[in-house]
Structure 1
Amino acid sequence: MKILAKIISETLHPLLMPFYGILMMFFYSYLFIFPTIYKLFILGGVLLFTCLIPALSILLLYKTGKIKTLGLNHREDRPLPYAICFLSYIFCGIYLFRAGLPLWVTAYVIGGLLAIITAAIVNTRWKISAHMTGIGGVLGAAFALATIQMIFPMHLFTGLILAAGLLGTSRVGLGCHTVMQVIAGTANGFIWVYLCMILSVAFKII
Structure 2
Amino acid sequence: MNFRKIANTLSWVLHPFLLPVYLMALLLTMTTFALYSTNVKLYFMWVVALYAIIIPFLTLGILRSLGRISDFRVDDRRERLLPLLIGTVCYVLCALTFAKIPSAIFLRKFMVAAACCEAMCFVVSLRWKISLHLTGMGAIVALLVVMNVVGVGNMLIPLAAAILCAGALASARLYLGCHNPRQIAAGFFGGFCVSLLAVLFL
> 1:203 matched to which residue of 2?
none
Measured against aligned partners, the alpha-carbon deviations of 1:123-161 in whole angstroms (never above 9, x if no partner) come to: 111100111111111111100101111765432122111
Tell me if the contact between 1:29 and 1:145 (Cα under 8 Å) persists in the aligned partners: no
Q: CA deviation at 1:122?
A: 0.8
> 1:122 matched to which residue of 2?
124
1:24 aligns with 2:20: no
Q: CA deviation at 1:101?
A: 3.5
> Could you say what the CA RMSD is over the residues aligned between the two structures, in angstroms?
1.5
Measured against aligned partners, the alpha-carbon deviations of 1:86-126 in whole angstroms (never above 9, x if no partner) come to: 11111111111113343222111111111111111111111
> 1:63 matched to which residue of 2?
65
Tell me if the contact between 2:174 and 2:181 (Cα under 8 Å) persists in the aligned partners: yes
Measured against aligned partners, the alpha-carbon deviations of 1:3-48 in whole angstroms (never above 9, x if no partner) come to: 1111110111101111122222223321111112211110111100
> 1:11 matched to which residue of 2?
13
Measured against aligned partners, the alpha-carbon deviations of 1:149-199 in whole angstroms (never above 9, x if no partner) come to: 176543212211111111111111111111111111111211122222233
> 2:115 matched to which residue of 1?
113
Measure the CA separation in 2 of the matches of 1:90 and 1:165.
Answer: 29
Q: 1:131 to 1:101 in 2, by over 3 A?
A: farther
Match of 2:166 among 161, 164, 167: 164
> 1:53 matched to which residue of 2?
55
Measure the CA separation in 1 of the matches of 2:20 and 2:158.
Answer: 16
Match of 1:99 among 92, 101, 105: 101
Q: Which amino acid aligns with 2:70?
A: K
Measure the CA separation in 2 of the matches of 1:90 and 1:142.
Answer: 21
Unaligned regions of 5+ residues in structure 2, if any? none
Q: Which amino acid aligns with 1:186?
A: F
Secondary structure, in 3 states, of the residue corresponding to 2:127? Answer: coil
Unaligned regions of 5+ residues in structure 1, if any? 200-205
Q: What is the TM-score with the length of structure 1 in the denominator?
A: 0.91
Measure the CA separation in 2 of the matches of 1:176 and 1:140.
Answer: 24
Tell me if the contact between 1:148 and 1:198 (Cα under 8 Å) persists in the aligned partners: no
Measure the CA separation in 1 of the matches of 2:5 and 2:197.
Answer: 36
Q: Which amino acid aligns with 1:157?
A: L
Q: What is the TM-score with the length of structure 2 in the denominator?
A: 0.93
Q: 1:77 to 1:164 in 2, by over 3 A?
A: same
Aligned length: 200
Q: Which amino acid aligns with 1:16?
A: L
